[in-house]
Chain A
Amino acid sequence: MDTKLNKYSKQLIIFNSIFILFWLTISIFPFLWTLWGSFKVKADFFSRAEWTYALTGFNTLIETGATTTVKAYVESWFEGEFWRASLNTMIVTVSVVSISLFLGTLGAYALSRSTYKYTFYILIAALIFRAMPHITLVSGYLFPFFQLNIWGILPTTIIVLVAINQPFTLWLLYSFFKTVPKELDESALIDGCSYFQAFRYIIMPVMWPGVVTAGLFSMMLAYNDFTVTALLLNQQNYTMVPKINAFLGTIEHGGNYMWAVSSVVSATAPLFMIIWFFQRQLISGLTAGAVKG
Chain B
Amino acid sequence: MPHKTFFWFILPTGLAMILFIGLPIVSSFFQSLHIETEQILMEVENCDPFGCKTNVRVDVEATEKLRQENPLGRFNGFGTYTDRNHLAFDEIGEAWNTSSSMIEFKDIVLNLPFYKALLFTLTFCFAVTPPVIILGFIVALSVNTLSKIIKGFIVFGTILPMIVTPLIGSLVLFWMIDSQGIIGASIQILFDDPNLSLKASSNLTWITLIIYGIWHNTPFAFVVFYAALQTVPQDPIEAAYIDGASRYQRVRYIVIPHLYPVATFIMLICLMDNFRVFEPIIGFSAEGVAQSLSWMIYQDLRNENKMLFGSAGATSMLTIIGIAFLLTPVLIRTWKEFRTER
Contacts and interface: CB of A to CB of B under 8 A. Distances in A.
Interface of A: 1, 4-6, 8-9, 12, 16, 19-20, 23-24, 26-28, 30-31, 33-34, 37, 45-48, 51, 54, 102-104, 106-107, 109-111, 113-116, 120, 122-129, 131-144, 146-147, 159-160, 162-164, 166-167, 170, 195, 199, 220, 223-227, 231, 241, 244-245, 248, 260-261, 264, 267-268, 271-272, 275-276, 279-280, 282-283, 286-287, 290-291, 293
B316 A107 contact: no
A139 B167 contact: no
B118 to A, nearest CB: 14
Contacts of B167: 226, 241, 244-245
A276 to B, nearest CB: 6
A51 B185 contact: yes
Contacts of A226: 165-167, 279
A291 B301 contact: no
Contact of B334 (A115, A124, A275): A124
Q: Which 10 interchain pairs have the tightest Cβ spacing?
A: A140-B24, A163-B20, A110-B9, A224-B165, A287-B227, A107-B13, A133-B276, A136-B316, A46-B180, A140-B28
Contacts of A109: 9
B198 to A, nearest CB: 14
B6 A110 contact: yes
B201 to A, nearest CB: 19
26 contacts: A4-B241, A5-B238, A12-B145, A16-B142, A19-B142, A20-B146, A23-B139, A27-B161, A30-B173, A33-B182, A46-B181, A107-B9, A124-B335, A127-B330, A132-B21, A135-B297, A138-B24, A160-B20, A227-B278, A227-B279, A271-B163, A272-B160, A283-B223, A287-B227, A290-B265, A291-B227
A271 B52 CA distance: 70
A106 B20 contact: no
Interface string B287-322: 000000010011011100001010011011101100
Interface residues of B, number: 103
Contacts of B158: 23-24, 27
A110 B155 contact: no
